[in-house]
Structure 1
C-alpha cells in the first residue's frame, strides 16, 4: 500500500528564479505606484493614507493616546505645566533616560534636579491603570517659530474617560502642592531669539525684615501681600483678575530692587524680569506676558527710562480728548503703553492669576497718569533716603549692634543731607569693627555736609548777583 508523502524536494525554486520573481514584482509595484502618483492628487493620497491608518488603529489597537501640547490657544497649557512638574516625581526603574542638572551656584554639590528628556518614557500607575508618558518635539521649519513640545499619554481605550475625569485633575492638584512647597525660586529673562523665558536660581538674600524702611511700612506691605494671596474668592466675586500692582519709586540706591527681591522671597514667587526695550510690538508683548506662569512677579524696572512709555505719554497729552488717554499710537519699533495697560487691567489681564506686577521708577512724575491709577498700580511705595530708624536697621543688619556712641552723631548728620541706603551700606561694610565702620560713615557724611553747604552758598551768590 502506497503511503501518501509530500516533500518540497525537487520543488524548491532556484536562487535565480527567486530573484527574477522579486524583480518582476518590484517593477510591477513601481509601475502601480507611479500610476497612482500621476492619477491621484497628493492631498487625496494623504487623505486615503490617514483614513487607512485610522481604520487599522481603531480596529486593531487597544490603546488610546492623549496629546498635551505646550501651548493651548494663546497661552501656555496648564495641563502641560502640571505634567512638567509632576512627572519628575514619579521616575521609576522603567524610565530609560532622564535629564539632570543644577543651576544652584551657591551649592555645587547639591543633588541635581530631574527633568524629562525628549523621547523618554515614564510609567505611572493610577487607580489600577497603567499609563505611559513620553515627551516629543517637532522642530520649527522657520527660524521665527519655536520648536513645539508635547507629551503623549497612552492608556487603554477602556480607561480613556477615567483618565480624563480623574487622572488629569489628580496631577493638577499634585503639581500645585509641589509648587507651593518649593524651597527655591527662579528669575526669568526673555530670550527673543528662541521666543522663550530662560531661568536661573534666584538667590537674593533680601528680606522684608532687613529692609531699611519704616516699621509701619513693612507691616503694611506684609499685610497687603497676605490679604492678596488669601482673597481668591473675593476677586472672583467682584469680577476682577486676581492680580496686584505695585509702583516703587524713589532716587537710585534707595532699595527698590531689594524690595522686589524681599517680596519674591516672602511670597515664594518666581520673578519674570521684562525688558520693555527689547519688545518689538504689542503683539510681541502679549506673547511674552501670556507665557508667564501663575504665582509669579512680573517686574518692569526703570520704566521711566523706556522711550516707548515716555513717547506714548507725549503723543496723548497733546490730544484734548481725555477719553482717548489709552488710545494706541503708532510707534515703530516697540510696544505701546496702551498695549501694556491692556495686559495689566484689560481683557488680557484675565490670562493667568495670582500675579504681582511691580514697576519701578526713579521719576514718578514722568509716568503717564494712565499707568498710575488704581487697578493698574494699586500700591504706590516711595523709597526714600535713610532716616534714623532706617540707619539703625542697617547697623543691626551689617554690624549686629543696636546702639553705639556714634549713633547720635550719625542721626544729626543724616537730617542735614540725603544719603541712600546703598551709600550707607557701603560704609557699614568696610569693617567688622562697628567703631571703624561708623567712623567711616561719619567722615563721609561730614564731607557731604560741607559739599552741600558750599553748593548752597554758590547758588545764593549767583542769585544775589542776578538781582
Structure 2
C-alpha cells in the first residue's frame, strides 16, 4: 500500500536532495582537484606554451593566427566550453561557434592532449592572441605535424566557406580582362538528375583530382583535369558544369571565344585565371566548324595543353559540344580531354526523377502510359520535359498528359524551337483550370522564352558506359548503361 503521509514524503525529498547535493559537491571537488593538478603541472614546467598573436611587430596580419582561429572554431570540444560566441553563416540554417576571450578548449592529436586559450589584453583588436599548451615530452614529436594539420584543415574549411565567383571575359580594344559576379547557380551534384552510381564515380574522380597534387607532380604532369561534355541541347551540360564548381568550391571562368581577338589574347586570358577554378568553353564544336572567331585551331590546342598552360595548376577545364562528329581527332585525344561524358535525351528513368523534383510525384497512374510512349522511341530533352512539368505543376495529371502529348507529337525529334507551340496547345486544349488566373498563351509564351535555357542549367542526365572503356588514360561516360 502506497503511503501519502506528508512526513514520509518530506523525508524522501530530503534524501533525494542530499544525494543530489553530494553528487554536485563531488563533481565540484573533482573539478577543483583537476584545476589544481593542471596548475601544479604548469608550475613545474610540464607544459610548453606558444603564443600566436594576430599581428606581428610590424602590425601585419599573422596568417597562422587566422588559420588557428578557423581550426579552433571547428573543434567539437568547443561546444563544451563555458563561453563561446555563436555566429550565423552565409547559408540558411548555417551556424558556427567561436571561442570567447580567456576561454580554453582541448584537442587531441596523435595521442597527445593539446589546449588552446584565446587571450585578450584589452579592447584593441591588436591584442588578441591564441596560446597553445602542449606537454614538453610531446612537443618534438607532434608540434610540426600538428601545425601542418591545422593549416590543411583551415584551408579546406575556408575553401568551402568562400564565395564562388563567375568570371566572364570583357570585350576590349587591347588585352582581354575578366569581370566577375557572385556565382549563385543552384545546381549541385545532389540535385543533378543522374544515376546514383554515376554520381559516385563523378564525385570520386573530382575528389581524386583535388587530392592528387603530389601524384600528378610525381608523374611529371600538370595538376589539371579536362572534361568533354557532349550531347543534344537541353540535356544538362551547363547544369553539370555548375554542379562541379559548387562541389569543388571553385570559381568559374567562362571563355567567350567570340570576344577573343587572337591566340595571344587567349593565352593572356588563361594566364589571368587563378588556381582552384573551372575553365569553361561552351559549344566548342560550333566554333570550330563555323570558324566564327579569330582564334585558330592551333590556339585552341595550345590552350588545352600547351607549354604555357603549365603556369596555372589546380584547374578543371570543361569543354561542351553538341556532337563529336567532324571534330579534329587531335582535340579529342587523352591529355587534352581526359574524361568524355555523353548527355543523352530523356528516358523514362530520368523522367521519373524529373517528375519527383518538379511535381513531388514518385508514382502515378499515368506512369505506365508515359513509359509506353518512351518505348516507342519518342524522346525530349530534360529541359523540354522540365518546362512542361513546371508550367503545369499545379496539376500532376495535366502535366503528365502534356508530356505524353508532347512526346507523341515530337515523334523522336529533338527541336526545342517548337516547344513553346506545343506547350500552348497542350495547356489550352481543355482550357486552363481555375488555379491560374492568367491566359494560357500569356503565361506559357512568357516562360517558354526563358525556361529551355534555364532548365538546361538545372538538370543533366549522364549514363556510364557499361564497359567502362579506358583508352590512354581517358574514360568515356555515355548513355548505354542499362537503366
TM range, smaller chain:
0.5 to 0.7
Which residue pairs with 1:384 in the alignment?
344
Give distance in 1, aligned partners of 2:388 and 2:204. Answer: 32
Instruction: Give 2:166's aligned residue.
Output: 187
Instruction: Give the whole-Å Cα distance in 2 for the aligned partners of 1:391 and 1:402.
Output: 10
Between the aligned partners of 1:372 and 1:207, the Cα distance in structure 2 is 27
- TM-score normalized by the length of structure 1: 0.54
Is 1:431 aligned to 2:393, yes or no?
yes
Gaps of 5+ in 1: 1-62, 67-81, 90-103, 108-122, 128-168, 313-330, 453-467
Matching residue of 1:441? 403
Residue 351 (1) aligns with residue 332 (2): no
Aligned partner of 2:204 in structure 1 is: 223
Which residue is 1:418 aligned to? Answer: 379
Deviation at 1:290, TM superposition (A): 0.6
Cα distance in 2 for residues equivalent to 1:180 and 1:186: 13
Q: Counterpart of 2:325 in 1: which secondary structure?
A: helix
Aligned residue in 2 for 1:289: 270
**Counterparts of 1:368 and 1:411, CA distance in 2:** 38
Q: CA deviation at 1:447?
A: 2.4
- The corresponding residue for 2:237 is 256
What is the DSSP-based 3-state SS (H/G/I as helix, E as strand, rest coil) of the residue aligned with 2:380?
Answer: coil
- Mapped to 2, the partners of 1:239 and 1:427 lie a distance apart of 50
1:369 aligns with 2:329: yes
**Deviation readout 1:414-459 (Å, 9 max, x if unpaired):** 232121101110111122332221122122223223999xxxxxxx
Query: In structure 2, what is the Cα distance between the partners aligned to 1:237 and 1:340?
Result: 27
The residue aligned with 2:289 is 310
CA contact (8 A) 2:379 2:413 kept: no
Q: Distance in 2 between matches of 1:426 and 1:251?
A: 16
Deviation at 1:237, TM superposition (A): 0.5
Partner of 1:19: none
- 1:394 Cα deviation after fit: 0.7
Listed as ranges, the gaps of 5+ residues in structure 2 are 1-56, 71-89, 93-124, 130-147, 415-483
d(CA) in 2 for partners of 1:374, 1:310: 21
Tell me, yes or no, if the aligned pair for 1:214 and 1:389 is still in contact at 8 Å.
no
- Closer, same or farther: CA 349–218 of 1 in aligned 2, 3 Å: same
Q: Deviations over 1:218-240 (max 9, x none)?
A: 22211211111111111010010
| Structure 1 residues 185 and 285, CA gap change in structure 2 (3 angstroms) | same
Provide TM-score, normalisation by structure 2.
0.52
Deviations 1:81-103 (A, max 9, x none): x9xx99xx9xxxxxxxxxxxxxx
For residue 117 of structure 1, what is the aligned residue in structure 2? Answer: none
RMSD: 3.7
- SS of the residue corresponding to residue 273 of structure 2 reads coil
Measure the CA separation in 2 of the matches of 1:244 and 1:382. 17
The superposition leaves residues 266-292 of structure 1 with CA deviations (integer Å, 9 ceiling, x where unpaired) of 111111000112111111111100101
Match of 2:132 in 1: none
Contact persistence 1:211–1:393 (CA under 8 A)? no
Structure 2 counterparts to residues 387-406 of structure 1, below 5 A: 387-406=347-366
Listed one character per residue, the Cα deviations across residues 321-344 of structure 1 (whole Å, up to 9, x for unaligned) are xxxxxxxxxx9x722222232232
Contact 2:379/2:407 (8 A) holds in 1: no
Q: Give the 3-state SS of the residue equivalent to 1:402 in structure 2.
A: coil
Q: C-alpha displacement at 1:386, in angstroms?
A: 0.8
**Does structure 1 conserve the Cα–Cα contact (< 8 Å) formed by 2:378 and 2:408?**
no
Q: Does 1:335 align with 2:316?
A: no
Write the distance in 1 (CA, Å) between the matches of 2:334 and 2:164. 29
| Residues 1:267 and 2:248 are matched in the alignment | yes
What SS does the corresponding residue of 2:188 show, helix, strand or coil?
coil
Aligned pair count reads 282
Q: Note if contact 2:358-2:393 (Cα within 8 Å) is conserved in structure 1.
A: no
State the 1:297 CA deviation: 0.4
- Separation in 2 of the partners of 1:451 and 1:346? 40
**Does residue 280 of the first structure (1) align with residue 261 of the second (2)?**
yes
Per the TM alignment, residue 125 of structure 1 is displaced from its structure 2 partner at its CA by: 8.5
Question: Cα distance, 1:372 vs. partner?
Answer: 0.7
Instruction: Tell which structure's C-alpha radius of gyration is larger.
Output: 1
Cα–Cα, structure 1 residues 445 and 343, in superposed 2: closer, same or farther, change >3 Å? closer
2:161 is paired with a residue of what secondary structure?
coil
* 3-state secondary structure, aligned to 1:365: coil
Deviations 1:228-274 (A, max 9, x none): 11111110100101111100001111111111111111111111000
For residue 176 of structure 1, report the CA deviation from its aligned partner.
4.8
Q: 1:175 to 1:352 in 2, by over 3 A?
A: farther
